[in-house]
Amino acid sequence: MSVKHILIFDSGVGGLSIFEEIIKKMDQLNCYYLSDNAYFPYGELKEDVLIQRLLLLLSDFIKKYPVDLIVIACNSASTVALQALRENFDIPIVGVVPAIKPACQLTKNNIIGLIATPATIAREYTSLLIHKFASQKKVLSLASTALVKLSERKLSVQSINECVLQQQLRAIFKEWLILPVRPDILVLGCTHFPLLKQEIKTCFGGNIKLVDSGEAIAKRVQQLLPVSGLKKESQHHAFYTKKNRQQCALEHAFKIRKFISFSLFIAS
Ligand code: DGL
């Protein structure tokens, strides 16, 4: 059986949280990772701009680097563009959307906190998910681009001091931290946020549970793309769409995850 190639796509480093879950289950895959940092943050883009950008960039990319499957490792993109992408590409496309359903099964106090980008919080898709699975629960929503940027910073070589990071988290979550009864489950509705899982847990203290979609996405990829045969050394390549200082500072985050290259990809 030939080696399978997949593309993991996000606006930035968030898709690495999905990459890690996929690689845990399927260490024979070869991954391309594309971060569209030229248009970052996706959580603040208009819907039509985002859809057009995704169609153009992804079709250019897979012409040059053909793949067996694409993972849109971004809630902000998946909640608006999956249908358009599936209509335009004839390979399987797996999207990532907030894990509202599992959160409903786990909550004990019936209060769920959804943290996501401004775009994901505002999407009709997200309201429908809440309506379908959580109509009997109380769902508090928090939109934060600051948290997305903090995740990028954590992975960059400059990193961020733990005390400063906790201070910033307390500012982001201040409205929830002062509630007399807080949510007992937080849904990490942006792929950047699992990169800060431990820090978010520390910020809330106690028994707060965090749920994300990473493992479910990895299972879905495994179903769609069964890989068997002898184990070979995987070859992962990362690309970005704009060269700047912040992007260069992220190279080591890819290197330590065994990406063997990190280079610029320019769409036509
Ligand atoms: N990681 C992305 C998401 O899941 C996008 C973050 C952003 O670029 O705003 O929504």
Does 11 sit in the ligand 1 pocket, CB within 6 Å?
yes
Does 40 sit in the ligand 1 pocket, CB within 6 Å?
yes
Count of residues in the chain? 268
Residue 159 reports pLDDT greater than 90: no
pLDDT at 230: 59
Strands (DSSP E) contained in the chain are: 5-10, 30-35, 69-72, 93-95, 111-116, 138-143, 185-188, 209-211, 236-240, 259-264
pLDDT at 191: 98
- Cβ proximity of 211 and 7 under 8 Å: no
Q: What is the DSSP letter of 4?
A: P
Residue 227 reports pLDDT greater than 80: no
CA 219, CA 94: separation in Å to the nearest integer? 11
pLDDT at 185: 98
Catalytic residue among 74, 104, 163, 203: 74
Does 76 sit in the ligand 1 pocket, CB within 6 Å?
yes
Does 75 sit in the ligand 1 pocket, CB within 6 Å?
yes
Helix (H, G, I), strand (E, B) or coil at 95: strand
> How far is residue 144 CA from its own chain's centroid?
14
- Encode pLDDT of 58-87 as tens digits: 999 999 999 999 999 999 999 999 999 999
- Cβ proximity of 16 and 90 under 8 Å: no
Q: Is 190 a residue of the active site?
A: yes
User: In angstroms, what is the span from residue 143 Cα to ligand 1's centroid?
Assistant: 11
Catalytic residue among 31, 104, 190, 203: 190
Mean pLDDT calculated for residue range 3-23:
96
Domains of the chain plus CATH, in order, are 5-96+215-264 (3.40.50.1860), 100-212 (3.40.50.1860)
CA 74, CA 95: separation in Å to the nearest integer? 7
pLDDT at 1: 56
- Cβ proximity of 172 and 147 under 8 Å: yes
User: In angstroms, what is the span from residue 2 Cα to ligand 1's centroid?
Assistant: 32
> Band of the pLDDT at 229, cuts 50, 70, 90?
low
Candidate of 36, 75, 195 to mutate for ligand 1, largest count of ligand atoms within 8 Å of Cβ:
75
Number of H helices, E strands in the chain: 13, 10
Helix (H, G, I), strand (E, B) or coil at 90: coil
User: In angstroms, what is the span from residue 268 Cα to ligand 1's centroid?
Assistant: 23
